[in-house]
Amino acid sequence: MKAVILKRWLPVLFFTAMFTSCASSGNMSVAQVGVSGSITYQTFYDELSPYGTWIDYPGYGHVWNPHMDGDFRPYATNGYWNYSNEGWVWMSNYSWGWAPFHYGRWLYDDMYGWLWVPGYNWSPAWVTWGYVDNYYCWAPLMPEVNIRVQFGGWRPHDFYWNVCARDHIYDRRLVLQHPSVVNNISNRVTIINNYNITHVHNEYYAKGPAVNEVERYTNRKIEPVSMKQVRNIERMEQKGNQMRVFSPQVQHPQPAAVSQSPAGQPQQVQRQAQLPHPARQEPVRQPPVRNEAPRPQAVMQPHPREFRQMPESSPARPVRMNDKWPSMERSMQRSNIERLPVHRDNGGSPHQGGRMQGRNNRGR
């Protein structure tokens, strides 16, 4: 009898063992289906801290300045453009490039250099595209740009534009021109009105030039690659006709009164942003009104455990449309950042908790 039962169950046990082995080794594509997950602003803070300085910047909250030597430019340095089924996507060769080039915005400060402002939405790239003469041009979006209203008409400062000859836009080693090669570029560039919407919050982003147009200039056939989400933080790379992308949803923080950090989890210290017209509070002695519609919550901004506090007297401010060309040298900008006083919340130590172990020595 035992032999009969064992004979019946042997195929089931064999199949179960094979399925478990394949799933654990990652050989089955089923294990990757629907992989998205979620992260918080604390993830940005923990993962980017080894590669830059977090600064409390007036008007924009907590921004990140990469520790880069030389003339770093977002969407220009150490990367290239690839064409996907969702538009032109920036492929950064930096190990930290999964975040600053696909979430949030960039701004340039003449005193502190390039600063990244975190955001909640993933896209192939947060840039505006255009062309002038025989060049393609693109510029990182600043934080205050209203995507739904100003996207097509926004003109960044000349310094923000990256310029490349049209027939080299698809090169893996981009040969960029200094923005000054195009005289009065911000007023002459023609914006490419080719947009798509993100999967989560339905925000518009620029897809870039039409692929058939790029094929004519480059004299190359361009096959779009498909996006494949991965579970862990890693550098974007293409394998065959698939692009491996870490693009989880970023959780919005909850009001501190109802948001409690579980034991052992990274603490999210939050603060309430100023409302333009705060509602007048009712006296405490009055009883609550039944069936009252909930009041809109103020936007809550996570507060990193350690960041550099910019003095109120600092002359730093973003370089804008009508400003003169930036004049500070990179070494001076780095010196300014290192002199900022360091603020630690709750007496925390630098890079305390949250960050994955063994990630400090990743290449820049």
Domain boundaries, the chain: 69-103+121-255
Q: How is 181-224 classified by DSSP, letter by letter?
A: GSTTHHHHPEE---EEE-TTT--EEE--S-HHHHHHHHT---PP
| pLDDT, position 253 | 64
Query: pLDDT per residue over 240-278, tens digit each?
Result: 777 888 888 888 765 443 333 333 333 332 332 332 333
| pLDDT, position 189 | 92
Contact 198, 205 (CB under 8 A): yes
| pLDDT, position 229 | 81
Worst-scoring range by mean pLDDT, 26-40, 130-144, 265-279?
265-279
Contact 190, 129 (CB under 8 A): no
Worst-scoring range by mean pLDDT, 21-30, 66-75, 138-147, 206-215?
21-30
| pLDDT, position 347 | 47
| pLDDT, position 290 | 43
Whether 99 shows a pLDDT value over 80: the answer reads yes
The two tokens of residue 339 are: 């002199």
Cα 55 from Cα 304, distance rounded (Å): 10
| pLDDT, position 356 | 27
Task: Give the mean model confidence (pLDDT) for residues 30-58.
Answer: 76
Which of 20, 39, 26 has its CA nearest to residue 266? 39
Banded model confidence at residue 289, pLDDT cuts 50, 70, 90: very low
Cα 116 from Cα 260, distance rounded (Å): 28
Averaged confidence pLDDT in the chain: 74
Banded model confidence at residue 165, pLDDT cuts 50, 70, 90: very high
Over the Cα atoms of the chain, what is R_g?
A: 24
Banded model confidence at residue 152, pLDDT cuts 50, 70, 90: low
| pLDDT, position 20 | 38
Worst-scoring range by mean pLDDT, 14-18, 93-97, 120-124, 318-322?
14-18
**Buried b / exposed e along 329-358 (16+ C-beta atoms within 10 A):** eeeebbebbeebeeeeeeeeeeebebbeee
Q: How is 248-279 classified by DSSP, letter by letter?
A: PEEPPPPPTTT--PPTTSPP-EEEEPPPSSPP
Banded model confidence at residue 98, pLDDT cuts 50, 70, 90: very high
The two tokens of residue 341 are: 């006083």
Task: Give the mean model confidence (pLDDT) for residues 214-237.
Answer: 86
Most confident of 105-109, 263-267, 306-310, 313-317: 105-109
The two tokens of residue 227 are: 């996006």
Banded model confidence at residue 227, pLDDT cuts 50, 70, 90: confident
Query: pLDDT per residue over 290-304, tens digit each?
Result: 444 444 444 455 566
pTM score of the predicted model:
0.72
For residue 166, report the phi and psi dihedrals to the nearest 5 degrees.
Answer: -60, -35
Task: Give the mean model confidence (pLDDT) for residues 199-218.
Answer: 90
